[in-house]
Structure 1
């Protein structure tokens, strides 16, 4: 069952609070810090994925989580892909199958594999992951550019930092 946007916002803020992320958002820093918190690293790997399969794949191996993303894409699209896979992780979505890293080459050659069938947003999990990715990127962009910022808000943020409030954009 698909969660509401409000429930996803709460989930997202809970997952990201306390990570002490810098702006502009660096997806590698995001994944490193979240992996440290969980005690399970997240590895980002560019891979030339064939056409007809998703641009990103999350694989849970015994020692780490691996986010494979399309090697032949722009940095902005790469960030969207990685944060989409991150969305699956923070939403608690289960992997369809656990796959070894060594099995990736065979996996990407066979587009019929279940892990590669995530190509549209009609599936609730895909919709949730994409919504979470959009929320993270929107919040980061708004905070980086000062959208909605006023002098009063800036003063309040400064006071919050002085009083030990959380740093960052959530």
Structure 2
């Protein structure tokens, strides 16, 4: 049973990195790592702006939110938390885009939305947006638990890789060739994320 669990985890890891590579192409993680720069690279690859909207955290509200509108993707994130937590929030919300969760159609409403159907937390968080837009945005950002787990895992993998790369200085091209020839291994293709 333990081997199957490890195999499933490795498979999930590989699937997530494949999604990351498809979304990001041959773009490496920024060095030194900067989550805002990574989000900007993702926006460039997607051909759509990703707006970062800092807010003060409020009780009983999520610390991050992805809103997909007709013109831009918006990541709302809490600013009154640690820098590490902010990084993870931004990466988690960006991971929803990488994984394609924004393209999943929301479940149809059982009845037409009434004016009072906007949750009070959303109204507090997004007071300047019309109710109809807030309902539409929230309808497109309610993710299933597996999607939340997938986004959380990908954000954690990116953070882990960024920390590992920060500890390991990059090898010059000549050093890579010499090491490869000593051990009989070809250097990794440039820009390819390794698991």
Global fold match (TM > 0.5)? yes
Cα deviations by residue, 1:67-101 (Å, 9 ceiling, x for unpaired): 0101211111100000000111111113759xxxx
Gap runs ≥5 in structure 2: 1-10, 108-117, 126-134, 181-186
1:38 and 1:5 map into 2 onto residues whose CA distance is 22
Q: 1:76 maps to what in 2?
A: 84
On the 8 A contact 1:46/1:68 being kept in 2, the answer is yes
Q: How many residues align?
A: 153
Q: Does 1:88 align with 2:134?
A: no
Taking the TM superposition and a 5 Å limit, the aligned residue runs for 1:13-162 are 13-94=21-102, 96=106, 107-109=122-124, 123-146=145-168, 155-156=175-176
2:90 and 2:51 map into 1 onto residues whose CA distance is 10
Q: 1:100 maps to what in 2?
A: none
Larger radius of gyration: 2
Gap runs ≥5 in structure 1: 98-102
Q: Does 1:11 align with 2:35?
A: no
1:108 and 1:56 map into 2 onto residues whose CA distance is 15
1:84 and 1:157 map into 2 onto residues whose CA distance is 36
Structure 2 vs 1, CA of residues 157 and 51 (structure 1 numbering), >3 Å: closer, same or farther? farther
TM normalised by structure 2 equals 0.63
1:77 and 1:9 map into 2 onto residues whose CA distance is 22
Comparing 39-48 with 76-85, which one deviates more in the overlay?
39-48
1:157 and 1:133 map into 2 onto residues whose CA distance is 32
On the 8 A contact 2:55/2:76 being kept in 1, the answer is yes
TM normalised by structure 1 equals 0.72
2:177 and 2:191 map into 1 onto residues whose CA distance is 9
